[in-house]
Structure 1
Amino acid sequence: YKPDIIIDAIMAKKNINTKIDDAPIVIAVGPGFTAKKDCDYVIETKRGHFLGKVIEEGSAIKNTGVPGNIGGYTIERIIRANGDGVFKSVAKIGDFVKKGDIVAYVDDREVTALIDGIVRGMLHDGIVVTDKMKCGDIDPRAEQSHCFSISDKSRAIGGGALEAVLYGLKNLRKQGKK
């Protein structure tokens, strides 16, 4: 398997094993990567003025562990494992939940919603999780259609990835490699 382009967008917030020589064009999304070392280009994922920016040298903004503010909520939006174990969801993407509702289990331990809103993301059942691991997301705007459309953040990051692909192809042509 010899791809022309690799985009590492696995959301690990660190480089698991991506190398700049994995393909002629290697693009990495988010923190944990350094352009010109791990990959050719890094895409900024932190909300704000530089969201979606193609970084040709250096790194994305470090992971703060605090998600972007939506509807006045940040860390409360995240559904986190309450211990190590096997994840089983109760709520599904698109479900409206209230603060305190059981949204999942880790083994036999209840995981509850910290705010009212729509479940916008949720791990699949059977995944082994670790304590405090992100397992899902609640959107306090409670707009169900947001669950089934592309977010502004995803569009900006996707646009940045496309821009990086075009930069990479242009640079390969300049070098006579494509």
Structure 2
Amino acid sequence: MTTTRQTRAQRREEEFEQLALAVTPRLLRSARLLCGDAHGAEDLVQETLAKLYVRQRSTLLPRLENPAAYAQTVLTRTFLSARRRRSSTELPLGELPDRLEPWGVAAPAAPEDRLALQAALAELAPGDRAVLVLRYLEELSVEETADRVGCTAGAVRTRCSRALGRLRVVVERSLVETEEQR
């Protein structure tokens, strides 16, 4: 009987390891865009994988039809929860790196464009940033995005529209400032 339990536990461990290896690159890419920095993205992915591990032990995860989509949902909701808890006085310190590594994301050609886009995303509210990343990077439908964020499809459409408007203003302002500095 103990060997059956051990075998079952080992099988669950192996299944989780395979899932983690399969979803981590995509989770890192999304987390990088949500967080705006590599360290925060790695922490977010680690926290997401820890939550998935706990769910896997309760035997919910193996029964899911699409565990990768579930992992993306957990990542997004973990990000939003952390942003809600974060103190409004907490500010990250340090300088932006010279080279960004967005893990397979096709980046704009010019470094100043990349920095402008990253800075613009950082100025958006966490919910708006999450909606834009899911809709336009992950290429999810409005309904899938609504499901992952935990709101209605109408709210996703509204958020996308307003966030894109804000994003355009911030990117244009940033590009003008960059041109003036040259």
**Above 0.5 in TM-score?**
no
Larger fraction in helix: 2
TM-score, length basis structure 2: 0.22
TM-score, length basis structure 1: 0.22
Larger RCO of the pair (alpha carbons < 8 Å, separation 6+):
2
